[in-house]
Amino acid sequence: MIKNIRMPSSGMLRDIYYEFFHVTFLFPDDTDGILLLTAKDAANEWSDWVEITDGSTTLSSKLTTSDGHITYLIVETVSANDKVYIVELAYGDDKTIVGRARFYGGSVPKQSQKMYSDVIPAGETVYYRMKCEQASGTAEAHLRYHLHT
């Protein structure tokens, strides 16, 4: 058994270490928090980019001092149970894509979408956009992320 694994100081090995050994955080981080994702008011068209927020706190505020990764998008409920949804996550003014997820609004109430996102640099604003087979489709979700501290 390997004990007391120490983090490499820099480089690719450090990045691999962070992927396997980290504390996962939730966003929103309280039981009454909601991350409401909303598609455009036209079917199969991307919404505008919107900063990720639970209504009072932004995901960006959790990444102000450390780089981070989004590891999961957990879909809890959707507005249309028989439609396909696609979400893209990005950061910065140029909307650098860090992850994509596609899910079906079927009868299974929760769907976990693993995301191997690129690094989100500390201090960047984090956005989403979504489209759905049905105009104005919505999904309530939460994100799991970790920091490189």
Q: pLDDT (tens digit, 9 = 90+) per residue, 108-127?
A: 556 777 777 788 999 999 99
Amino acid at 34: I
Domain span holding position 128 = 24-148
Q: Report pLDDT for 149.
A: 72
- Whether 11 maps to a domain, the answer reads no
Query: What b-and-e string marks burial along 19-28, b requiring 16 or more CB atoms within 10 Å of the CB?
Result: eeebeeebbb
The answer to whether residue 63 is domain-embedded is yes
Residue 91 lies in a domain: yes
Q: Extract the tokens encoding 10.
A: 């820099």
In a domain, 48, yes or no: yes
**CATH number reported for the structural domain that contains residue 95 in this entry:** 2.60.120
Instruction: Give the model confidence (pLDDT) of 58-99 as tens digits.
Output: 999 999 999 998 989 999 889 988 899 999 999 999 999 999
CA torsion sign for 37, 99, 70, 105 is: positive
Nearest to 100 by CA among 73, 81, 79, 76: 73
**What's the total number of domains in the chain?**
1
